[in-house]
Amino acid sequence: MVQMAGFQETLRRLAMIDEGFVEDQAGVGLCLTRTSALDPKVAALLQLGAAVAIGSPAVCLEWSATRALATGASEDEIADVLLVIAPVVGLGRVVCAAPDVATALGYDIAAALEEMD
């Protein structure tokens, strides 16, 4: 195994959102239980909505959706986040995000569209 240079390690871990690394090194708190009024699932779904709204890259969307799943959100709830934010953030943002969110749910839209049913 090749030893990576420090900057390579940093950039890799940022690019894939290594949660421990981001919290410790970038000082970004990722904990979903910081507030008492919102339960972790609602917090995770809101964060996913916000990530879609600001046009986050694929890896952020996949990570946000995976976190939402881990807090107990269902696939339907995650897909509904895209639907409910569409009137506010615009259809374009939501359409862009759909394939990446789908990937986090184990659904390959590109392959599915190619396949015969």
Partner 1 sequence: MAAGDVDTAAVLVAKLVIPTHRQGRVTTIQRWLRWLDDRSGTEGHPTVAVLAALFWALMGRPVESERWADAVDRWQYGDPARPSDPSTEAWAAVMRTFLCRRGVEQMRADADEAVRRFAAQSFVTPAPAFLQGIARVLCGDLDGGDASLEDGISVAEEVGAHEDLAIALCERSLAAIASGDWGRAEALAERARTVLRQAGIEESYATPLVSAVQARTVLHRGDLSAARRELVSAQRLRHLLTYALPYLAVQARIELARAHIAVADLAGARMLMREVDDLLRRRPGLGTLVDEARAIRACLAKNRDPTIAGASALTAAELRLLPMLSTHLSFPEIAEEMFLSRHTIKSEAISLYRKLGTSSRSQAVARSRELGLLDG
Residue nearer to partner 1 on the CB measure, 41 or 93: 41
Cβ proximity of 89 and 53 under 8 Å: yes
- Contact between 77 and partner 1 per CB under 8 A: no
What's the closest the beta carbon of residue 59 comes to partner 1, in angstroms?
A: 6
- Contact between 51 and partner 1 per CB under 8 A: no
- Contact between 23 and partner 1 per CB under 8 A: no
Residue nearer to partner 1 on the CB measure, 87 or 116: 116
What's the closest the beta carbon of residue 20 comes to partner 1, in angstroms?
A: 7
